[in-house]
Amino acid sequence: MYETIYHGFLMACMLVTAALIILCLIRAILGPRLTDRVVAVNMIGTMTIVEIAMFALYLRENYLFDVCLIYAMISFLAVVILTKIYGGAYQERKIKGTPFLQVEDEEEQEGDEL
Amino acid sequence: MMAWIQLAAGGALIVTGILTMCAAVLGVYRFHYVLNRMHSAAMGDSLGILLVILGLMVLSGFQSGTLKLALIIAFFWIAGPVSSHMICKLEVLVNENLREECEVPDDGSV
């Protein structure tokens, strides 16, 4: 009785979290700006950690908590590296004079010149 | 009997945390600009994960895994604001039309 409710409850919570992860993924694809996508990726990382922690209790395996901790560190590192790389690329292109992330404006300007 | 109390308390905490995360995803869809969306995403990243993992700690009882779960919360509460701040700095750096989206102080600090 107890085992059935325990496993059923954790499985239901895992399914809801999986649905939330898919919604975040759709947001990452839709997101009009670059930073929208980084925010969505950050949220996906958080929810994956919750999912792994619940799965660890579902299986009653303690080693999955270590996976969870490492995943938290890698998710944080991913955000740091993405922001650093995009900031650096933006400043580099600003020095060169080519616009960054403004392809539509550039096309309009070319159209005006023609 | 003790196990049932644990299940009820932990289950209530987990359900509250998952509802907080649902609210965070809803906010990410409803807001229209990144800096507003980040406000909602940070709520799920801090309060949501705190409630869910507290619930899992109650559910798992007193063992070595409980301390690891506490360590996850500690790490996330240190790392989450830092990553939010870095994303915000990137947005302010990259967005050339920031003044059209939100109020910016005119003292040259941005």
Question: A107 lies in a domain?
Answer: no
Please compute the mean of the pLDDT values over residues A82-91 and round it to a whole number.
87
Please compute the mean of the pLDDT values over residues A7-16 and round it to a whole number.
93
Please compute the mean of the pLDDT values over residues A80-108 and round it to a whole number.
73
Q: Whole-angstrom Cα distance, residue A56 to residue B65?
A: 10
Count the residues in chain B: 110
Question: A52 lies in a domain?
Answer: yes
pLDDT band at B63 (very low <50, low <70, confident <90, very high): confident
pLDDT of residue B11: 92
CB contact under 8 A, B7 and A2: yes
Which of A14-18, B31-35, B45-49, B103-107 comes out lowest in average pLDDT?
A: B103-107
Q: Whole-angstrom Cα distance, residue A83 to residue B96?
A: 17
pTM of the prediction? Answer: 0.83
pLDDT of residue A100: 59
CA Rg, chain A, in Å?
Answer: 21
State the average pLDDT for chain B: 87
CB contact under 8 A, B34 and A35: yes
Neighbours of A6 (CB within 10 A): 19
CB contact under 8 A, A102 and B4: no
Q: At residue A112, does pLDDT exceed 50? A: no
- Residue B103 backbone class (left: φ over 0; alpha: ψ -120 to 50; beta: rest): beta
pLDDT band at A32 (very low <50, low <70, confident <90, very high): confident
The tens digit of pLDDT for each residue in B18-33 reads: 999 999 999 999 988 8
Residues 6+ apart with CB under 8 A from A88: none
**Number of Cβ pairs < 8 A linking chain A and chain B:** 139
Q: Which residues constitute the domain of residue A59?
A: 2-75
Q: At residue A90, does pLDDT exceed 50? A: yes
Question: A41 lies in a domain?
Answer: yes
**Smallest Cβ distance to B37: which of A20, A36, A76?**
A36
Domain count of the fold of chain A: 1
State the average pLDDT for chain A: 84
Q: Which residues of B touch A57 (CB under 8 A)?
A: 56, 59-60
pLDDT of residue A67: 92
Q: At residue A108, does pLDDT exceed 50? A: no
Please compute the mean of the pLDDT values over residues B94-100 and round it to a whole number.
77
Q: Whole-angstrom Cα distance, residue B93 to residue B74?
A: 30
Distances (CA, A) of B66 to A68, B54, B72: 13, 9, 10
**Smallest Cβ distance to B38: which of A20, A39, A100?**
A39
The tens digit of pLDDT for each residue in B64-75 reads: 888 989 999 999
Question: A111 lies in a domain?
Answer: no
